Amino acid sequence: MFVTMLLIRAFDEVAGQARRDGKLRGSVHEYIGEEAIATGVCSNLLTTDYISSYHRGHGHCIAKGADPVAMMKELYGKAGGVCGGKGGSMHVADFALGILGANGVVADGVTIAVGAAQAVKLRGENRIVVAFFGDGALNRGPLLEALNWARVYDLPVLFVCEDNIYSDKTRTASVTGGPGIVARAAAFGLPYESIDGNDVLAVDAAAARLVADVRAGRGPMFLHARTYRWRGHLAWDEGRYRDAAEVELRTADDSIARAEAWLVAQGARAEALAIDRREASARIHAAVIEAEAAPWPPMEALFTDVQDMGAPSWQS
């Protein structure tokens, strides 16, 4: 899990900087600071399990096993990207690994997740579905519909709310009524746990309990993981709307440093951990070099995979 967290951080450090440097186009939403959640949850999943994600989705994909090279190519819009360069950062997906996709519309991945769970149930499969979403999504109607839906049909879904306290550039608390996130889960009859999302061991332990319950057919469960978004909403957002003292205090609580301290306390050698850090960084930098050297998609890719009936051409 430590190495996965390092890979996620290195990937988004590098991707965010590439965006700021103008090497990438489009949106890059960094997951820096939140790595423990994707890592701790996905460590409890099988390859055959599904996850759905959202705009801040690189971490979920890496934690579920996606290839950082193919992901980086996707961010660069290149051939060989996980989606052939046609999706970009907000649409990374790998169906072979059960990654149903990041998503550019807040909460839409959650309705897709409950449908995936319905298919699992209809087909009698032994998979579960994890829906990752942020605290901002809990103010969208479709998410509230989906919580109800999962309960009504007793679907094998684990909802994971990554509460980084910001909805884009607005403090979520300032635009949210009622007693809070877990109360909303409770209102739909969902069992829930609320944990420190910067403690990967706590995430892992809670996810282990909830995943086991979902897999055992006990219906949908809800995990509220409290964390903090170190960066702005997007790579080019400096997050100046945040109080400097808040940023300093919250970023001091570093999930990776905590995991490292725990490993050292368990007897891990500091030099070995330093090697892990260097290797993760080197792997991501190699991915960038490969992505920058990769060819563009062929121009005919514009027209492929739109639809079978009435497929487009230059004339239509």
Partner 1 sequence: MAVLSYAQAARLALKQEMERDATVWALGEDLGPEGGVSGQYLGLQQIFGKHRIVDTPISESTIMGAAIGAAICGTRPVVELRYADFGICAADEIVNQAAKVRYMLGGQVRVPAVIRQPIGMRDGMAAQHSQSTEAWWIHIPGLVVVAPATPADNHALLKSAIRCDDPVIYMEHKELWAVTGEVDETAAPTLIGRAAVRRQGSDVTIVTWSSMVSICVAAAGKLAAKGREVEVIDLRTLWPWDRDAVFTSVAKTGRLLVVHQAVRVGGFGGEIVAEVSEHMFGSLKTAPRRLAAPRTPVPFSEPLETLCRVGEDQIVKTVLEMTG
Q: Which residues bind partner 1 (CB under 8 A)?
A: 50, 52, 81-87, 91, 93-95, 100-101, 103-105, 108, 110-123, 141-142, 145-146, 148-149, 152-153, 304-310, 312
> Judged by CB, which is closer to partner 1: 236, or 303?
303
Minimum distance from CB of 119 to partner 1 (Å)? 4
Task: Yes or no: say if 196 and 206 are a contact pair by the CB < 8 Å rule.
Answer: no
Minimum distance from CB of 291 to partner 1 (Å)? 15
- In degrees and rounded to multiples of 5, residue 235 shows phi and psi of -55, -35
Minimum distance from CB of 23 to partner 1 (Å)? 21
Residue at 67: amino acid letter: D
> Judged by CB, which is closer to partner 1: 6, or 113?
113
Nearest to 63 by CA among 43, 34, 87, 91: 43
What is the chain's length? 316
Q: What is the DSSP string of 257-300?
A: HHHHHHHHHTT--HHHHHHHHHHHHHHHHHHHHHHHHSPPPPGG
If residue 150 lies in a helix (H) or strand (E), which one and from where to where?
A: helix 141-152
Minimum distance from CB of 87 to partner 1 (Å)? 4
> Judged by CB, which is closer to partner 1: 94, or 276?
94
Strand partners, 195: 225
Instruction: Report the chain's terminal Cα–Cα distance, integer Å.
Output: 49
Minimum distance from CB of 245 to partner 1 (Å)? 38
> Judged by CB, which is closer to partner 1: 13, or 145?
145
> Judged by CB, which is closer to partner 1: 149, or 228?
149
> Judged by CB, which is closer to partner 1: 40, or 109?
109
Distance CA 233, CA 103 (A): 15
- Residue 158 makes CB contacts below 8 A (sequence gap 6+) with 41, 128, 129, 130, 131, 207, 210, 211, 214, 220, 221, 222, 223
Minimum distance from CB of 10 to partner 1 (Å)? 24
Token pair listed for 133: 């979403």
> Judged by CB, which is closer to partner 1: 110, or 234?
110
Q: Which residues of 281-293 are buried (b: 16+ CB within 10 A; e: fewer)?
A: bebbeebbebbee
Strand partners, 170: 167
Minimum distance from CB of 220 to partner 1 (Å)? 13
Token pair listed for 250: 């919250």
Minimum distance from CB of 109 to partner 1 (Å)? 9
Token pair listed for 233: 């909403």
> Judged by CB, which is closer to partner 1: 63, or 110?
110
Distance CA 33, CA 239 (A): 14
